Chains A and B, each alone.
Chain A
Amino acid sequence: MTEQEIFDQKIDADVRIEPKDWMPEAYRKTLIRQISQHAHSEYVGMLPEANWITRAPTLRRKATLLAKVQDEAGHGLYLYSAMETLGMSRQQSLDDLHSGKAKYSSIFNYPTLTWADIGTIGWLVDGAAILNQVPLCRTSYGPYARAMVRVCKEESFHQRQGFEIMMALAQGTAEQKEMAQDAINRWWWPTLMMFGPKDSESGNSELSMRWRIKRFSNDELRQKFVDMMVPQAEFLGLKVPDEKLQWNAEKNGHDFGEIDWEEFWRVVKGHGQCNKQRLDARRKAHEDGAWVRDAAMAYAEKRAQREATKKGA
C-alpha cells in the first residue's frame, strides 16, 4: 500500500492523523492555514472585548469579562501549539498575521459601540463559534481535535455570560432594551457571515470535507445557528433583524434572507470598519512587548550562568 492509500484508509476509518504520520502536503497546508486563522481569531478577538473591560457596569461583569479575555488568549495558545506540530513556527505565523498575509475571522473587524455589544458577542458570536467548533473536536488531525476539546469546554461560560447580560438588558429599562435591540441589529448579519461563503462558492470546503477536517458545510451550520437562535431571541423579547425570517414546517427549519455578500468580501479583503485598527493594535502590542520578551530571556541566561558558577565553585 502506498502512503497515500494508508492515509486515505485512516481518514475513512475515522482514525486520527498524528504529527509524525505521513500526510499529503495539501492536507498539511490546509490545516496550517485553518488552525493559524483560528488561532489569530482568538488572538485578535481579545481586542473588541478588551475595549469594555475598564467600563464594565459592575465589578462582577468586569471580573467576568477579564476572565473571558484571558480564556481567548489561552485558546489562541492551544491552537498555535497545535499548528506548530505541523512544522509552522510561531514567529512565522505571527509575522504573517502582522503583515496582513494571514486572515482571521471578519467578525472582529466590527466595532463594540455599547455595553450590549459585549452581551451580543458572548451570546451570538460565541454561539456561532461553538457551532463551528463542536464538530472540530472530531476533526481528523489529532492535535487540533484535542485543542478543540479544551476550547469547547471553556467556551460554554462565554455564551452563558453573554446571554445573562442580554437578559439583564432586555428585562431592564426601555433604554436598556433599546440598546440590546440595537446591538442585535448590528451583529446579526455579520454573525451569519462567520460560517463563511455559500457552499456553492466555498473553494476549500470540498477537500476539507473529504479529509474530515470539516464535518458540516457552511450552509448547514448557518441553518442550525438560525434555528437555534431564533427561539432565544424570542425569549429575550428581541427582534431578529430579518424581514424574510419565517418558520418553514416543510423543511423543519427557518427560511431567512440573503446575506450581503458584497459586505462579506469587502471585510475579508481588509476594508471593514476596524481592519486597520485591529492590525495596528496587534502590531503595537507585539512591538511594545519586545522588551518584556528580551528581559525574560536575559533573566533566564543570567540565572543559568549563576547556576553554572555555583556548580563550578
Chain B
Amino acid sequence: MSKDWPLWEVFIRSRQGLDHKHVGSLHAPDARMAMENARDVYTRRQEGVSIWVVESKNIHASNPDEAAQFYDPAEDKVYRHPTFYNVPDDIEHM
C-alpha cells in the first residue's frame, strides 16, 4: 500500500527585489521533488526567479473564527494613521 505524498505550499519571487508570494500548493515526496514540481507547474512561463517550498504542516495559520478578537486591538487606534494629524495644506514635504 503506497503512502500519500505530503503537501507543500509554494512561494514564488517573480522578480529580484520583490517578496516571495504564495501561489498555491502541490504534493511531492520530498523538498527537492517539491521544488522541481513547483518549477514545472508554477513557472512554465518564467513567472519566477526564486522558489520557496514549505511543507504545509509547518504553516500555522490564524483562525478566521477568532478574527474579530484577534485584530480588535488595532480597531480603535486611528491615531496610527498620518491623516489623523492636522497639518496645513501649504506645508510641503510632509
Would A142 and B85 count as touching, CB distance under 8 A? no
Contact of B82 among A10, A142, A156 (CB under 8 A): A156
Would B17 and A161 count as touching, CB distance under 8 A? no
Q: Is the interface of A mostly helix, strand, loop or mixed?
A: helix
Contact of A142 among B16, B80, B90, B91 (CB under 8 A): B16
Would A67 and B16 count as touching, CB distance under 8 A? no
**Across the interface, which residues of A come within 8 angstroms of B50, CB to CB?**
18, 20
Nearest A residue to B49, CB-CB? A18
Write the A185-223 contact mask toward B (1 if CB under 8 angstroms, else 0): 000000000000000000000000000000000000000
**Across the interface, which residues of A come within 8 angstroms of B94, CB to CB?**
156, 159-160, 163, 232
Verify if B81 is at the interface (C-beta below 8 Å from A).
Answer: yes
Min Cβ gap B47→A in Å is 17
**Across the interface, which residues of A come within 8 angstroms of B84, CB to CB?**
157
Chain B contributes a number of interface residues (CB within 8 A of A) equal to 20
**Across the interface, which residues of A come within 8 angstroms of B88, CB to CB?**
235
Would A228 and B93 count as touching, CB distance under 8 A? yes
Question: Chain A, interface size: which category?
Answer: 20 to 34
Question: Which residues of A are at the interface with B, using a C-beta cutoff of 8 A?
Answer: 10, 15-18, 20, 60, 63-64, 67, 71, 127, 142, 145-146, 156-157, 159-161, 163-164, 167, 228, 231-232, 235
Would B87 and A160 count as touching, CB distance under 8 A? yes
Would B85 and A163 count as touching, CB distance under 8 A? yes
Would A142 and B87 count as touching, CB distance under 8 A? no
**Across the interface, which residues of B come within 8 angstroms of A15, CB to CB?**
16-17
Complex CA distance for A142 and B93, rounded to whole angstroms? 26
B residues 56-94 touching A (CB-CB < 8 Å):
77, 79-82, 84-88, 90-94
